[in-house]
Amino acid sequence: MCGIIGYVGSRPCKELLLEGLKRLEYRGYDSAGVALLEEDGLHYVRAVGNLENLKRAAASNGSRVTHGLGHTRWATHGTVTEANAHPLTGCSERELAVALNGIVENYRELKESLLADGHTFSSETDAEVVIHLVERHYDGDLADAVRAAYDELEGHFSFVVIHRAHPDLLVGARCQTPLVVGVGEGETFLASSIAAFLPETRRVQFIEDGDVVSITPAGATFQSADGTTGDPDIVEVDWDEESAEKGGYETFMLKEIYEQADSVRETIGDRVRHGELVLEALEMTDEQIRNLRRIVIVACGTAYHAGVVGRYIIEEWARIPVEPDIASEWIYRNPVLSKDTLVIGISQSGETRDTVNAVKLARELGARTLAITNLMGTQITREAETVLYTRCGMEVGVAASKTFTAQAALLSLVALKLAQVRKTLPPEEIEFTLNQLYELPRKIDEFLDADHPIEEIAQRFYDKPFFLYLGRHIGLAVALEGALKLKEISYIPTEAYSAGEMKHGPIALLEEGTPVVVVATDIHVYDKIVSNIQEVRARGAHVIAVATDGNEDIQHHADDVIYVP
Ligand code: M6R
């Protein structure tokens, strides 16, 4: 989840690019760079850290240049270094460069073939293969070379290429990742978000997946995969700058809820290749994995709830006992650990003191340690032996959303990897589950795009003084997280409970009309959940069930149903 902005026109563009990057900074800020086309070819300025560093570094460069490309990075492949900052170049540095957003899933295979062809790589990124492919295919026509390169890529990405031989031209393409044209007077922008160029123009053209788009100061031309050219309508957006940053959503949290498909897609990304699991960063030998006797997951808040999801799937698939624990409790109770225990610390920010300290302590006590986090270079990555990253981009909303689902997806991959090595699941079941995971982003989008009675339910219940959330198994983890979200953003006192435990006390809280949200999806404890729903309804409470698409039975038990795939 990075940000791209490109410009062709007659104005000096360095400041335009830097300003555009500033507006994209909410997408990622670990490093940034610009490529400016001067008379003797492309010149680059790249800097690690926030944009001020890039501005300072670029102070003396290309003030008259009118053709350039900028990028702000949220690292996914390769550490946070200047060498990994985009725009990235091919073998001939002055000739051509690319800025990419997203993930190239087949970069390993492509890199091998490019290396065999004599290409030399200067970064650790997946993105660099794109510019070498363009270089390999280039024969005087940049759009053709981009098309040929695009056709070899797998994944979800958008990218823009600049070439010295084509002043006043930028060529880009997208696959399931945003890229949009900004149409100005005698100038054109190509960016990953409208926010990047909004103060300069409100006139935009949207690009379809598979289109190769070429921009010149006179406008954009679009070429689809079958070679036909298109001319999408120019749309005038009426967003202000603030709502543009939020992609038109009312709040960052809502925007991030809608980004879940992307963040799960990126997190799974190249880790599942044609039904195969590639999780090298786990960095444990098969023998070490086979010898594991216990896993402890330490985290806080939402990350802890993801850990509870982790418990169910790891125990189920890999048959290793898992204890999710609240980091702030765990560190103060003299934990019992040994070298056959793996301690997984989960922290979106990578900086939560209790979680970082828990991982540090685990390592001191001789356990193996793995951090799951969203940001490279953070404290937790320095304390843990190994690190796996969710790839959500920055989460601006204080209430976590997209990082929870991405953490759960990543824990699923870890569970499957452990199961594969320990042979606790048949290979065909692993392959089936990997394929299901691969399908997950599409299902998330389908759910978010469809109509649901959620808003109408909220209208009916927003002034209730108390909510109860119930679930069992993974549904309990989801209930815990749902209740946290309701408390955190609505200030409504909310309890989350294991549905089976409710009768041992909390049931006393229920009265006529108390809203009770029950996670009642199709899992092996569905019938037990239905019994719990009956207990709740006997008290006159109002049941809002979250159930699996197609489950008609739940209609007989719940007052409202929200269906999920
Ligand atoms: O950055 P972390 O994942 O370590 O943060 C832990 C919690 O503070 C965090 O998950 C918090 O509970 C959520 N933002 C609540 O929505």
| Cβ count near 487 (within 10 Å) | 16
- pLDDT band, very low/low/confident/very high, at 1 (cuts 50, 70, 90): low
Q: What is the pLDDT of residues 264-275, one digit of tens each?
A: 999 998 898 777
Q: State what percent of residues in the chain have pLDDT above 90.
A: 77
Taking the centre of ligand 1 as the mean of its atom positions, its distance from the CA of residue 483, in whole angstroms, is: 14
Handedness of CA 274, 79, 410, 310 (dihedral sign): positive
- pLDDT band, very low/low/confident/very high, at 531 (cuts 50, 70, 90): very high
Q: Is residue 482 lining ligand 1, measured as CB closer than 6 Å?
A: no
Question: Is 280 a residue whose pLDDT tops 80?
Answer: no
Q: What is the pLDDT of residues 114-168, one digit of tens each?
A: 999 999 999 999 999 999 999 999 999 999 999 999 999 999 899 999 999 999 9
Mean pLDDT calculated for residue range 167-182:
92
Question: Is 502 a residue whose pLDDT tops 80?
Answer: yes
In one-letter notation, the amino acid at residue 66 is T
Summary mean pLDDT of the chain = 93
* Model confidence, pTM: 0.79
| Cβ count near 279 (within 10 Å) | 17
Helix (H) or strand (E) holding 277: strand 276-277
Q: Is residue 407 lining ligand 1, measured as CB closer than 6 Å?
A: no
Q: What is the pLDDT of residues 459-468, one digit of tens each?
A: 999 999 999 9
- pLDDT band, very low/low/confident/very high, at 281 (cuts 50, 70, 90): low
Q: Is residue 400 lining ligand 1, measured as CB closer than 6 Å?
A: yes
CA of 302, closest atom in ligand 1: 10
Q: Is residue 394 lining ligand 1, measured as CB closer than 6 Å?
A: no
Q: What is the pLDDT of residues 368-419, one digit of tens each?
A: 999 999 988 788 998 999 999 999 887 888 899 999 999 999 999 999 999 9
CA–CA dist 297, 227 (Å, integer): 52
Is residue 484 a contact partner of residue 302, using CB atoms and an 8 Å limit? yes
Amino acid 235: pLDDT: 85
Question: Is 248 a residue whose pLDDT tops 90?
Answer: no
CA–CA dist 483, 63 (Å, integer): 53
Amino acid 2: pLDDT: 84
Taking the centre of ligand 1 as the mean of its atom positions, its distance from the CA of residue 349, in whole angstroms, is: 8
Q: What is the pLDDT of residues 483-501, one digit of tens each?
A: 999 999 999 999 999 999 9
Closest residue CA from atom 10 of ligand 1? 302
- pLDDT band, very low/low/confident/very high, at 28 (cuts 50, 70, 90): low
Is residue 352 a contact partner of residue 327, using CB atoms and an 8 Å limit? yes
Is residue 104 a contact partner of residue 110, using CB atoms and an 8 Å limit? yes
Which DSSP state fits 195?
G
Mutate to test the pocket of ligand 1, among 253, 297, 302 (most ligand atoms within 8 A of CB): 302
Taking the centre of ligand 1 as the mean of its atom positions, its distance from the CA of residue 278, in whole angstroms, is: 28
Q: Is residue 253 lining ligand 1, measured as CB closer than 6 Å?
A: no
Amino acid 21: pLDDT: 93
CA of 398, closest atom in ligand 1: 14
Q: Is residue 298 lining ligand 1, measured as CB closer than 6 Å?
A: no
CA of 301, closest atom in ligand 1: 12
Q: What is the pLDDT of residues 538-559, one digit of tens each?
A: 999 999 999 999 999 999 999 9
Q: Is residue 349 lining ligand 1, measured as CB closer than 6 Å?
A: yes
Amino acid 547: pLDDT: 98
